[in-house]
Amino acid sequence: MVEIPSLRELEVFRATVFSSSATAAAERLGISQPSVSRILANIEQRMGMILFLRQNGRLVPTAEAFALNDELETVFEGLERVRHFAAEADALRGGRLRILSPPSFCSHFVTPMIVEFKRAHPSVLIEFRVLSSQEALNKITSSEGDIAITTNRVTHPGVRMEIIKTTRSVCVMPANHPLASRPIVKAQDLDGEPFIALASNLKARSGVDQLFQRAGVSRDIVIETTTNHAACECVAAGLGVTIINPFPVISNFPGQIIVRPFEPKFEHNIFAMFPSETAPNWLGRAFLAYLKRSAANWRPNS
């Protein structure tokens, strides 16, 4: 079995390919010329191939050397990105992170991650703004925010989107509701049911309305609200049922509501939104990693 050289040894190999001289490679790397020669000989022995021909005091790379060097391009490009990341992270320690989120994602998602992130990075100033999705878009496009959480996919030259989590709508009902015994609730099961709907100007509302229209189901809409949390509060009070994106709001109501899968399937995406004019800085990328981990581990407890 071929023994793979270490990254340091491969660095010596690449420096020699570029310079065709052990002396020049040694000067470039700050080591001795005999060390370069010894490392190259070890690489050739372990890989079982001749990488350099010794001609008139110079090292001439063979075809195998050029092929190996080509394969190493992506490896060292990745290492350079890691070095850049580390340098950027070091420069931004003690920096500022501006986070934007609608109210529905604060409890059980964004705020706990802010607490955890702050404990891990105590010198970072975190500015947390609770805003509507439209307000968050305005802040991002005007470079007044570093990362925003939203359920709306935005097509705008000033923003870049990245999916955090994909979920499916669920039916939320009071604990004593007759449909609670069913493993799945279908649109037809809610014909004539008192229904808590989201406000008519929300995209999630129009999507749910279309599902019921296609099923030929007429709901008795008794309340309209702008947030999933308020809809669940109404359900917990026994005022009706609702169809919502479960993440992360139903975690706020342990033991107060019953949650069942809903058909037809209606998917929701939760996005991170960044300014498109610049790549997310180290703090923004690091916080996104916290959010993705939290979203992946999230489980409803209702």
With beta carbons less than 8 A apart as the criterion, state whether 147 and 284 touch. yes
Angle at 171 between CA 176 and CA 207, to 5 degrees: 150
- Residues carrying CATH 3.40.190.10, the chain: 97-160+274-297, 170-265
Residue-wise pLDDT for 124-144, tens only, equals: 899 999 998 889 888 998 888
| Mean pLDDT calculated for residue range 245-258 | 89
Q: Tell me the backbone φ, ψ of residue 172, rounded to 5 degrees.
A: -110, 130
Question: What percentage of the chain reaches a pLDDT higher than 90?
Answer: 43
Calpha distance 44→41 (Å, rounded): 5
SS3 186: strand
**Residue range 206-230, pLDDT digits in tens:** 999 999 999 999 999 999 998 899 9
CA distance 249 to 168: 13
The C-alpha atoms of residue 91 and residue 89 are separated, in whole angstroms, by: 5
Distance CA(176)–CA(179), nearest Å, equals 9
Q: Mean pLDDT throughout 72-88?
A: 75
| CATH superfamily, with its number, for domain 97-160+274-297 | Periplasmic binding protein-like II (3.40.190.10)
Query: Does domain 170-265 bear CATH number 3.40.190.10?
Result: yes
Q: Is the pLDDT of residue 298 over 70?
A: yes
State the DSSP string of 114-147. Answer: HHHHHHH-TT-EEEEEE--HHHHHHHHHTT--SE
Query: What pairing do the DSSP bridges indicate for beta strands 257-263 and 185-186?
Result: parallel
Flag whether pLDDT at 302 surpasses 50: no
> What pLDDT shows up at residue 260?
95
Can you tell me the distance from the alpha carbon of 121 to that of 158, in angstroms, rounded to the nearest whole number? 29
The mean pLDDT of the chain is 88
At 85-111, the pLDDT tens digits run 666 655 556 688 999 998 888 888 999
pTM, two decimal places: 0.66
Angle formed by the axes of helices 33-47 and 7-19, nearest 10°: 110
Return d(Cα 150, Cα 139) in angstroms, integer. 13
Q: Which range in 10-19, 65-74, 187-196, 267-276 is most confidently predicted, on average pLDDT?
A: 187-196
CATH of 7-91, one of 3.40.50.11540, 3.30.360.10, 1.10.10.10, 1.10.1530.10: 1.10.10.10
> Which amino acid is it at 67?
A
- In whole angstroms, what is the distance from residue 66 CA to residue 79 CA? 20
In the numeric block, which tokens belong to residue 182? 């069913």
pLDDT of residue 10: 87
Q: How far apart are CA 164 and CA 160, in angstroms?
A: 13
Question: Which part of the chain has CATH 1.10.10.10?
Answer: 7-91
